[in-house]
């Protein structure tokens, strides 16, 4: 599997699927499934039975997973969706780099 380039806290742009064109913050990455959960995107309704915690039951909404291949990271520097390169600095540190503006996004 390719090195994981999307991390929790990243802003991603959805490039395919029913949420195409939207952006959101990554809440969780599920590398084993090749999917991720993005805040307020791909909301799914679930029927919830009443429990001790949730007395009412009813329908709750929560984020469904989105395939990693359907999103691109939005660069914090140039604010465009971009592919990410991983670069090794002279001192051996790895950083994520925006392929559009070549700016360092953060540590890899």
E strand or H helix at 38:
strand 35-38
Rounded to the nearest whole angstrom, what is the least distance from the CB of residue 97 to Zn ion in the complex? 9
**Two tokens at 105?**
């996004």
Contacting range for Zn ion; rule: CB under 5 A; set: 33-41, 47-55, 61-69, 70-78: 70-78
Rounded to the nearest whole angstrom, what is the least distance from the CB of residue 13 to Zn ion in the complex? 12
Using the rule CB under 5 A, is 104 a contact of Zn ion? no
Instruction: List the one residue from 77, 85, 95, 104 that touches Zn ion (CB under 5 A).
Output: 77
Query: Which of 27, 85 has the CB closer to Zn ion?
Result: 85
Say whether 61 sits in a helix, a strand or coil: strand
Residues that bind Zn ion (CB under 5 A): 75, 77-78, 98, 100-101
């Amino acid at each position: 599997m390719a090195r994981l380039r999307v991390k929790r806290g990243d802003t991603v742009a959805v490039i395919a699927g029913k949420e195409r064109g939207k952006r959101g913050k990554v809440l969780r990455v599920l590398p084993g499934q090749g999917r991720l959960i993005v805040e307020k995107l791909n909301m799914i309704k679930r029927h919830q039975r009443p429990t001790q915690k949730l007395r009412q039951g009813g329908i709750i909404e929560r984020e469904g997973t989105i395939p990693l291949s359907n999103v691109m990271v939005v660069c914090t520097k140039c604010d465009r969706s971009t592919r990410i390169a991983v670069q090794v600095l002279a001192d051996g540190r790895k950083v994520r780099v925006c392929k559009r503006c070549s700016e360092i996004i953060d540590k890899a």
